[in-house]
Structures are given as C-alpha cells and as structure tokens.
Amino acid sequence: MKNVDLHHGAATDVGLVRKVNEDSYLVAPPIFVVADGMGGHSGGDVASQMVVEEFQRLSEVYDPARGAEHVAGAFARAQARIVDFGNAHRALQPGWHAGTTAVVAALVDDNGVAKWLLANLGDSRIYRVTEGRLEQISVDHSVVQELIDAGQITEQEAAVHPERHVITRALGSPEGIQPDFFLLPLGSVERLLLCSDGVTGMIEDKEIEDILETIADPRDAADGLVRAAVAAGGRDNATAVVVDVVGLVKDATYDSQRQLQSLESKLGGRL
Amino acid sequence: MSAEPRFAAGDWYAVAGERVTVLLPGSQRDRVAHLWDLTDSGADVDAVLDALLAGGLSSLDHFALVAHGDDATRLIVRGAPTATVSSSAGDDLVSATPGTTWAERLVTGVTSLRVTLTGDGEADRVLTPGLARVSVVEFGAPTASGTPAPAAAAAVMEPEPVATEPEPVTPEPEPEPEPEPEAVEPEPVAHPEPVVVPEPAAAAPLHFGEPDDDPTPTGETPVVRDEWYDRDGQTQVGSPAPDFDRPPIPGQEIAPEVVSQPVASLIFSTGDVVAVDRTVLVGRAPEARRFASHDQPHVVTVASPQQEISSTHLEIRPGAGADHGSAIATDLGSTNGTVLAQPGLEPEELTPGIAVSLIPGAVLDLGDGVTIQVTNA
C-alpha cells in the first residue's frame, strides 16, 4: 500500500445557539476523525478532544497493515480515559457524565491492497460519494434508528420523535463500547464525508449531496457544509471532514503486481 | 488477573485447571472426570474443547469455558450461563443468544470476569485447581458484589490423583446423594429467562450533561426553548435493543462470529485458499459492513474483466443451528447470480439472500471464470 494521495478539508462551527463547541476533529492522513461530545463545558469538549488525542497519538505510530487492531486499540484507550475522567468528576458531582460519539476513517493495508476502514460509535455519520450519489455508510446507534430498523417509525417520524436525541452507544458509556466497523475498497469511494449531527440535523441529505457534488475542493466543500448547517439555524455544533482520493484508479481489476510483471515481459526482462 | 479465582457454592461443576476452567451443569457429571484428567495434565484449551464436544452438542445444552492465555482470555458460554467481562476496553456482558451455538469472546487486558450459572451468590470462596460445585465463578479483581474471603477454601475438593481414579466427582462437602434434580438442569425448555440478559442496569437512560440537581450549574449549556432543540444538551445514552447488535440476514439465524476450527476450506480458481472460520465475503470489490473489531470478515477480491461478478457477490460463513459444522453460502443479491454444483446433484442457481449448506466437493461458480471449490478444512 503506497502513495495513496489524499486531499482533504475540514471545518467546524459552534453554531448560533451553543456557547461551547463540543465537537472535535482530527485530520492526520491517513486517519480522520470527527467526535461530538456530550456533557457541557469541561465535559463533552474534553471527551471529544480525548478521542482526537488518542487518534493523533495513533497516527504517529500507525501501521496500516494492522489498521483494525490499531483503531480498536485507540478506541479502547480513549474509552478508558473518558471513563476515568468521568469517575473523577463524579466524585465531586454525583450523576455527572461525559461522553462522545466518534466516526473514524483510516486507510488500511489489506494484504497489500489499500482499503478504507471506517468505524462508528453514536450518531455522527460517515457518507461516501460514488458516481455522483451520496450514500450513508455508518448506521446511527440511536433509539430512532432502532425503531426505523424495526419498521416501527419512518425516517420522517424519526426527525420529530421525542427520543431522537437518545443514542445507544458512545465513548464514555460505563457499559463499554462496541464500535461498528466497515471495510470498503478504495475504488468504491470517490469522496468521503465525516460529520457531526450538527450538520445532518440541520440540512437534508439532498443538500449535502449537492454541496459535495458541486464544490470540487474538499476544503471548500467542508466549509460549504458547515456554513449551510449554520445558515439553516445552527442549533448545534457542526463539523465536517471531507476526504478525496486523488488519482483513483477506477478499474477494480487493476493489479500493480500483474501490471509490473506484464511490463517486465513486454520489455523482455530488461527491468 | 492476579487475584485468585473465587466461587459461590451451587449445583454446577467447576473443573478448574491452571489455565482452563470448564463449568458444567450437575447433570454432566459423566464428562467431568475426563475433563479433569485433561485440565490437570495441562491440556490446552483446544484439547479441552475437543473433549468437551466429543459427545456431541445435542447432549450439552449448557456450559461455560474460561481459558487464560498469555495475553488474552478466551470465554465461551453456551445455554444458560452469562458472563461479565471487564477489561481495559470496558465491560462486556456475554451470553449466548437463544438459537445460537454459543457466544465466544477473546478479550485482552481482562481485569475481572464473573460467570453466573445460577442465582447471584457472592463468590467468596477461593477456587483452587480441582473440582467444585459452584453457582458463580469469578476471576481477577473482585467485582463490586463480592470480596473474597481468602480463608474460605473449604468447599474446594482436593484434586484427586489423576487417571487412577475417575471418580473425583463425588462432592465431599455436600454429600447429598444425588444433588441434581431440582434447579440443576434447567430443563431445555425452561430457560425462557435467557438468563440475566442485560436489562442494562439502568432502566433510565444516562443523561449526559449536568444532572438536574447539579448544585453548580456552569451556565455553559444553553437553555433552548420552543421549537429549537439543542441536540447536544439533550443527547442521552440509552440501552441498545438486544437484537440490534448484529443484524442478521432476515430469516436466518445469527451466525457465530468466529469459530475455533474452520468448518471448510475454499479453493479459489485464482489460487487463493481461504479457511471458513468466520464470514468470508467474495466479490469484484467487496465491502464488509457493521462488524466488530474481533470478527472482521475475510474479504476476497476476485478479478472480473467482464464485470460479471458483483462488487460484493457472495457470502460464505460457518453455519449455525442445524448447519453447525458446515459452511453456508448466500448470494448477496448479485446481478448475474451464483451457480452451485453439489456433488451428486444438479447444479442450481442460488436464490439471493437464501443460505445453502455446502458439502465438501461443492463448486460455486461466480462467473467470469471464477469458481470456488469447497473442501474439508
């Protein structure tokens, strides 16, 4: 796995209502993270920052060949820190909790082939754009998502459901963490979006798709998404990280080894 | 995991070795002596598991197995037992979903592990290698509910000399002649209480942010009114619905995540050989979705110059329930389909979404000249 050229952009905004930005993000190619903290000042912002710090630390020693293991390890370390942090606080303020969502994208080396390893805890989201179509990859860990999956409510009903803020998994949860992982071929993702619910709660998927389709530069696209979320009311912290795989070889059958061998034989072994 | 293992007295047998501990219902005393021979002679977990399963699964509705490795603890529970594992990665409650073969975990950095067989007793007796009649067993640091009383090793039976005496089973301390009948064997039907399934302690969801009675509000969390919903301020953590964790293919039993022995080996026409010890996904550019870090599927990419093969075309995984021990294949709604030729049968096209059990010698044809031959593992 070499020379995967990534272009990326990130933007975050506290929004129009909240005073503290509890979202954090990390851009440390080939690792990207968005975390949306919960727990108020010195709670959610600290928790989401802890996740970002752990992945920042990971990025310094990251081995793509052991990507899944490394990402799971960073989750576990972040979880341990947030739980410790919560316990220390609870000694002073009973009932106090801090937690955070997290979505992670990391390039991994799967037997020499670069792939996207994506991971999700909570209701921040990962989308991809392929052939002009936006597709949500992560599945929210939320009560309304469970109700949708069970066929009990529609997505429209979910948007106004009284329990739409209740998430079922998060870092900092005393019951432990259970992130979902996803493994996608590099060629199946032209553009990747990681964002907090301050984006997806404010603008429709259609608008997200339009912005990602029309703005070519990933930095401008991330800005555009956050600005649109703020313009739509900015009720929550909004964060977006956009990653493009540049020079993507779209032929899924491309095989560098075979290409090299073929070249060698064509050149009569002069390589 | 330095503290000594502990237990609460009960009807189950604990066959406790240095590294491997097997827990069996009172009705399984036949298996106990042989297992003790093995564990006492230092057999590894695979050998113990082999011996445990030698008599077949049908007569073994319930058991639990805990094996401490150099850096990880392996845990298997089948039937009624439940286990709570605390590790650096957090707490995990392990119980077999009804209808599955068992639940298995490989956990590193375990700090404490509590296996509940019956009741909810306090594990206050030290479990030394040997046999004991137990209801709860704990390893590692004491959990909140029980602190060990180190002296109370009373009920642990001396490990009798090995092969000479295949009778170390008789419970000395409670010489009730046949202690089985009552609670001992949860009659197969009678465990509709898939015992102690989470009810995740807090019925009330965790509220993040300042509690209502917070004496020192920071004023940083805005109070948002009318139609504006402050999503963060309201975000809470609730408990997951149990069946949400691993969405199965509709109408199918949930697959065991990873099995200890591959159930089959797949020989690809491309030359790849892949063991079916977990889910295997095959396609032109396969995507694996919603897996946990410990059950990452094998993803096998096959070239398809004519694009006959779909990006994620076929799934092959260890079977559960009636298909236990064999590999099952499911066409994942591929565009051009999959043809299965089982030995002695007419080739058939797989119906998308319907799993078919594979026998050794079967050949799956995905198109574009790509075939997969199924052989014994």
CATH of residue B331:
2.60.200.20
Separation CA A55–CA A58 (nearest Å) = 5
User: What is the pLDDT at residue B93?
Assistant: 87
Residues of B in contact with A180 (CB under 8 A): 290-292
**Rounded mean pLDDT, B250-265:** 71
Classify strands B298-301 and B280-283 as parallel, antiparallel or unpaired: parallel
Task: Express each pLDDT in B183-203 by its tens digit.
Answer: 444 444 444 444 444 434 333
Q: What percent of chain A has pLDDT over 70?
A: 89
Q: Does one domain contain both B167 and B297?
A: no
**Cβ contact A75:A171 at 8 Å:** yes
Non-local (6+) Cβ contacts of A198 within 8 A are A13, A15, A23, A36, A229, A234, A235, A236, A237, A238, A239, B231
At B143 the pLDDT is 55
B185 and B281 both lie in a single domain:
no
Instruction: Please indicate, yes or no, whether residues B273 and B185 belong to a single structural domain of this protein.
Output: no
* Separation CA A93–CA A151 (nearest Å): 40
B166 and B24 together in one domain: yes
For residues B52 and B170, membership in a common domain is answered with: yes
Give the model confidence (pLDDT) of B110-131 as tens digits. 888 899 888 878 888 888 888 8
User: Are B366 and B277 within one domain?
Assistant: yes
Pick among A108, A147, A183 to test the B interface (most B CBs inside 10 A): A183
Query: CA B327 → CA B100, B161, B370, distances in Å?
Result: 15, 42, 19
For residues B55-61, average pLDDT: 81
What's the Rg (C-alpha) of chain A?
A: 20
Alpha-carbon span B154 to B6, nearest angstrom: 12
pLDDT band for position A247 (50/70/90)?
low
User: Is A38 within 8 Å of B304 when comparing Cβ atoms?
Assistant: no
Instruction: Tell me the average pLDDT of chain B.
Output: 74
Average pLDDT on A54-67 reads 95
**pLDDT reported for residue A242:** 97
Lowest mean pLDDT: which of A185-199, A248-262, B118-132? A248-262
Do residues B46 and B169 both lie within one domain? Answer: yes
Neighboring chain A residues of B234 at a CB cutoff of 8 Å: 165
CA distance B291 to chain A (A): 5
- State residue B191's pLDDT score: 44
Give the pLDDT of residue B354.
93
Q: Kindly give the pairing relationship between strand A133-136 and strand A125-130.
A: antiparallel
**What pLDDT shows up at residue B238?**
58
Residue B328 lies inside a defined structural domain of this protein: yes
Domain membership of residue B13 (yes or no) is yes
Is B239 inside a domain boundary?
no
Q: Region A118-146: what's the mean pLDDT?
A: 94
Q: Per-residue pLDDT averaged across A101-114, rounded?
A: 93
Q: Of residues A40 and B83, which shows the higher confidence score?
A: B83
pLDDT of residue B123: 85
At residue A3, the pLDDT reads 64
The domain boundary, picked from B141, B163, B190, lies at B190
Contact between chains at B287 and A183 (C-beta distance less than 8 A): yes
The alpha carbon of A7 is separated from its chain's Cα centroid by a whole number of angstroms, namely 16
Domains of chain A: 5-266 (3.60.40.10)
- Among the residue ranges A25-29, A96-100, B177-181, B291-295, the one predicted with the least confidence is B177-181
Alpha-carbon gap, residue A8 to A133, rounded angstroms: 19
Question: Rounded to 10 degrees, what is the CA torsion of A58, A61, A63, A66?
Answer: -50
pLDDT above 90 covers a percentage of chain A that reads: 68
**How confident is the model over A109-132, as a mean pLDDT?**
93
Of the residues B155, B170, B190, which one is the last residue of a structural domain? B190
ipTM: 0.78
Task: Indicate the range of A111-125, B240-254, B256-270 predicted with least confidence.
Answer: B240-254
Q: Which domain holds residue B25?
A: 6-190
Residues B153 and B42 in one domain: yes
Q: Pseudo-torsion of CA B331, B337, B342, B344, nearest 10°?
A: 150
| Gap from B219 CA to chain A (nearest CA, Å) | 9
Closest Cβ opposite residue A79 in set B89, B216, B239: B89
The pLDDT of A54-80, averaged and rounded, is 95
Pseudo-torsion of CA A150, A151, A153, A155, nearest 10°?
A: 100
Q: Do residues B278 and B173 share a domain?
A: no
In a domain, B213, yes or no: no
For residues B274 and B167, membership in a common domain is answered with no
Tell me whether residue B16 is in a domain.
yes
Q: According to the model, what pLDDT value does residue A212 have? A: 96
Does one domain contain both B165 and B66?
Answer: yes
Q: What is the pLDDT of residues B289-314, one digit of tens each?
A: 999 888 889 999 999 888 889 999 99
Average pLDDT, chain A: 88
Domains contained in chain B, number: 2
Question: Is A146 within 8 Å of B240 when comparing Cβ atoms?
Answer: yes
Cα–Cα distance, A113 to B9 (Å, whole number) = 54
Band (B235; pLDDT cuts 50, 70, 90): low
pLDDT at B342: 93
Strand order in the sheet with B348-349: B273-275, B265-268, B370-375, B363-367, B339-341, B348-349
Q: Which residue has the tokens 């298995």?
A: B104
Domain boundary (B139, B167, B190) is at B190
Give which of A129, A122, A128 is closest to A145, Cα–Cα. Answer: A122
Tell me whether residue B306 is in a domain. Answer: yes
Nearest CA to CA, how far is B164 from chain A (Å)?
46
Residue A199 has pLDDT above 80, yes or no: yes
What is the structure's pLDDT at B172? 46
The values of phi and psi at residue A158, to 5°, are -60, -35
Q: Is 60 exceeded by the pLDDT of residue A207?
A: yes
Asked if residue B275 is part of any domain, the answer here is yes
B145 assigned to some structural domain: yes
pLDDT tier at B160, thresholds 50, 70, 90: very low
Shared-domain flag, residues B147 and B271: no
